[in-house]
C-alpha cells in the first residue's frame, strides 16, 4: 500500500480511524456505568469508497437543494405576470426585505410561540418520560412507549384537524365545556405540544432509562432531599437527552405552518406560513428562498447558543 495515496486522498480522513480522543460512550455520559473507562479508539478500517452512496445521497438530497435555494435567494423576480421568470445573479435585496419591519414581527412571533410550545412540551413531557422510566413496570414499558408513538401512525394533518373540532367553541367538546380558544395563540400552543410531544418524550425517556438510579440513592444517603437529588444528580446526568429533546421539538416548531394555519385561523402568522405563501401563493420564489435561509441561519444560531450554554453548565466528557 503506498502511503502518498492515503495522504492525498481527499476523503480518506472522513473514513479512517476515529479521532484520537473519542467521545465517551453514551452510557458514561448518562452516568450509567461510572466504572467504565474509555474504550480503545481502534475500530475496523474501511475503504473510503464505502462512503460513496451516503455521500451521493447527501449531495443530492441536501447540498444540491440548498445551493438551489441560495441561487434563488440571490435572484431577482422578473416583473411579469406571464410566468415565473427569474434573473439569477447576486441580488441582496431579497434579504433586505426579509429584515423589514413587517417580517421581523413575524419572526419574533414565530420564535416566541415556538419557545412557548417547547417550554410547555418540556413541562408536560418530562414528567411523562420520568413516570415511564421509573414507575411503569418493565413488563408494561414497551406498551407505554408504543402508546406514545401511536399518534404518529395517523396523518399529522388529520390529527391537527381533529384538534380544530375539539377546540371549536361551537362544537361538542369545547362548546359543552364553555371553552372558546380556537383561533387564539392558546389553541396553537395546544396543537404544538400535542404534535411534538413524542419527539421530546422518546429521547428523554431513553436517557432516563440509562440512568443509574443507585446514584440517586447515594445522594439521598448523603442527606439530599428527593428534590435536591433530582436537581443535582438526575437532571445533570440526563441533560444530553433533554437537550436532544428540546432541539428536536423547537426546530420544527419554528418552521411550523400547518398548526398556526388550522388552529390559529391565519391570525397568527408563522414564518413558515410566509414561506409557504411566497412559494405557492405569491409565486415569489426568490423572496421565499431568502426567508427560508434567514430562518435557517437564525435557528442555527439559536442551536449553537443553546448547546454551548448547556454544555458549559456541566462539563461532560473530558
Partner 1 sequence: MSVETEFDVRFRGVTKRFGGVVAVDDLDLDVRKGEFLSLLGSSGCGKTTSLRMIAGFEQPTSGSILIGDDDAVGVPPYRRDVNTVFQHYALFPHMTVLDNVAYGLKQRGVEKAERRKRAQAALDLVHLEGREGRKPRELSGGQQQRVALARALVMEPRVLLLDEPLGALDQQLRKDMQVELKRIQQEVGITFVYVTHDQGEAMSMSDRIAVMCNGKIEQLDAPEVVYDRPSSAFVAGFIGEMNTMAGTVRGVSGGVATIDVASGTVAAPVDGVHPSGDVLVGIRPEKVRVVADLDGPNRVAATVVTRLQLGSQIQLVAEMADGTTLTAVVPRAGTDADVDDLVPGDHIHLSWSASAPILLAA
| Shortest separation between residue 239's beta carbon and partner 1, angstroms | 9
Q: Which is nearer to partner 1, 231 or 267 (CB)?
A: 231
Q: Which is nearer to partner 1, 195 or 210 (CB)?
A: 210
Q: Which is nearer to partner 1, 75 or 206 (CB)?
A: 206
Residue the block writes with cell 420544527:
252
Among positions 275-314, residues that touch partner 1 (CB under 8 A) are: 314
Q: Which is nearer to partner 1, 172 or 307 (CB)?
A: 307
Q: Which is nearer to partner 1, 29 or 251 (CB)?
A: 29
| Shortest separation between residue 136's beta carbon and partner 1, angstroms | 17
Q: Which is nearer to partner 1, 159 or 220 (CB)?
A: 220
C-alpha 259: how far from its chain's center? 16
| Shortest separation between residue 197's beta carbon and partner 1, angstroms | 28
H helix intervals, the chain:
3-8, 12-15, 26-30, 52-58, 64-73, 93-98, 101-135, 138-149, 156-167, 174-177, 185-210, 214-221, 226-229, 235-237, 239-254, 258-263, 271-276, 285-313
| Shortest separation between residue 235's beta carbon and partner 1, angstroms | 10
Write out the DSSP string of 75-99: SEE-S-SSS--EE-S--THHHHHHT
Q: Which is nearer to partner 1, 24 or 169 (CB)?
A: 24
The dihedral of CA 127, 133, 138, 143: what is its sign? positive
Report the residue from 10, 89, 101, 223 that binds partner 1 according to the rule CB under 8 A.
Answer: 223
Query: In angstroms, rounded to a whole number, what is the distance separating the alpha carbons of residues 2 and 170?
Result: 77
- Tell me how far CA of residue 135 lies from CA of 29, 52, 225, in angstroms: 23, 46, 19
| Shortest separation between residue 192's beta carbon and partner 1, angstroms | 32
In sequence order, the 6+-apart residues with CB closer than 8 A to the CB of 192 are 113, 114, 117, 120, 121, 253, 256, 259
Cβ atoms of 275 and 257 closer than 8 Å: yes
Stretch that binds partner 1, among 171-179, 223-231, 250-258, 302-310 (CB under 8 A): 223-231
- The answer to the question of residue 133 lying near partner 1 (CB under 8 A) is no
- Tell me how far CA of residue 13 lies from CA of 7, 18, 46, 162, 236, in angstroms: 9, 9, 11, 50, 34
How many chain residues are in contact with partner 1, going by CB under 8 A?
29
Q: Which is nearer to partner 1, 80 or 315 (CB)?
A: 315
Q: Which is nearer to partner 1, 176 or 222 (CB)?
A: 222
Report the residue from 9, 65, 127, 218 that binds partner 1 according to the rule CB under 8 A.
Answer: 218
Among positions 237-276, residues that touch partner 1 (CB under 8 A) are: 237
Write out the DSSP string of 206-248: HHHHH--THHHHHHHHTT--HHHHIIIIIHHHTHHHHHHHHHH
Among positions 12-41, residues that touch partner 1 (CB under 8 A) are: 24, 28, 31, 34-38
Query: In angstroms, rounded to a whole number, what is the distance separating the alpha carbons of residues 120 and 309?
Result: 21
Report the residue from 76, 109, 120, 212 that binds partner 1 according to the rule CB under 8 A.
Answer: 212
Stretch that binds partner 1, among 14-22, 212-220, 261-269, 302-310 (CB under 8 A): 212-220
Stretch that binds partner 1, among 42-50, 218-226, 277-285, 303-311 (CB under 8 A): 218-226
Using CB under 8 A as the criterion, which residues of the chain lie in contact with partner 1 when the complex forms?
Answer: 24, 28, 31, 34-38, 212, 214-215, 217-226, 228, 232-233, 236-237, 314-316
Amino acid at each position: 500500500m503506498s502511503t502518498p495515496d492515503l495522504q492525498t486522498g481527499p476523503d480518506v480522513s472522513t473514513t479512517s480511524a476515529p479521532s484520537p480522543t473519542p467521545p465517551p460512550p453514551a452510557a458514561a455520559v448518562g452516568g450509567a456505568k461510572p466504572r467504565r473507562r474509555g474504550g480503545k479508539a481502534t475500530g475496523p478500517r474501511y475503504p473510503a469508497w464505502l462512503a460513496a452512496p451516503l455521500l451521493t445521497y447527501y449531495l443530492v438530497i441536501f447540498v444540491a437543494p440548498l445551493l438551489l435555494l441560495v441561487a434563488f435567494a440571490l435572484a431577482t423576480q422578473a416583473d411579469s405576470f406571464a410566468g415565473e421568470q427569474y434573473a439569477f445573479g447576486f441580488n441582496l435585496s431579497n434579504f433586505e426585505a426579509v429584515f423589514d419591519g413587517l417580517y421581523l414581527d413575524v419572526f419574533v412571533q414565530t420564535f416566541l410561540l415556538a419557545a412557548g410550545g417547547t417550554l410547555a412540551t418540556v413541562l408536560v413531557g418530562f414528567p411523562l418520560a420520568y413516570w415511564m422510566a421509573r414507575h411503569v413496570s418493565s413488563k408494561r414499558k414497551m406498551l407505554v412507549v408504543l402508546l406514545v408513538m401511536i399518534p404518529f401512525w395517523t396523518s399529522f394533518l388529520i390529527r391537527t384537524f381533529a384538534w380544530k373540532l375539539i377546540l371549536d367553541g361551537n362544537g361538542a367538546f369545547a362548546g359543552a365545556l364553555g371553552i372558546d380558544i380556537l383561533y387564539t395563540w392558546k389553541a396553537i400552543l395546544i396543537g404544538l405540544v400535542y404534535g411534538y410531544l413524542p419527539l421530546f418524550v422518546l429521547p428523554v425517556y431513553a436517557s432516563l432509562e440509562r440512568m443509574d438510579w443507585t446514584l440517586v440513592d447515594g445522594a439521598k444517603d448523603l442527606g439530599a432531599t428527593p428534590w435536591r437529588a433530582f436537581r443535582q444528580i438526575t437532571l445533570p446526568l440526563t441533560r444530553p437527552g433533554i437537550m436532544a429533546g428540546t432541539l428536536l421539538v423547537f426546530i420544527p416548531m419554528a418552521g411550523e405552518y400547518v398548526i398556526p394555519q388550522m388552529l390559529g385561523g391565519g391570525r397568527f402568522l408563522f414564518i413558515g406560513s410566509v414561506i409557504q405563501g411566497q412559494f405557492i401563493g405569491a409565486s415569489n420564489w426568490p423572496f421565499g428562498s431568502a426567508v427560508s435561509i434567514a430562518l435557517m441561519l437564525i435557528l442555527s444560531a439559536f442551536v449553537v447558543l443553546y448547546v454551548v450554554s448547556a454544555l458549559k453548565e456541566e462539563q461532560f466528557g473530558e
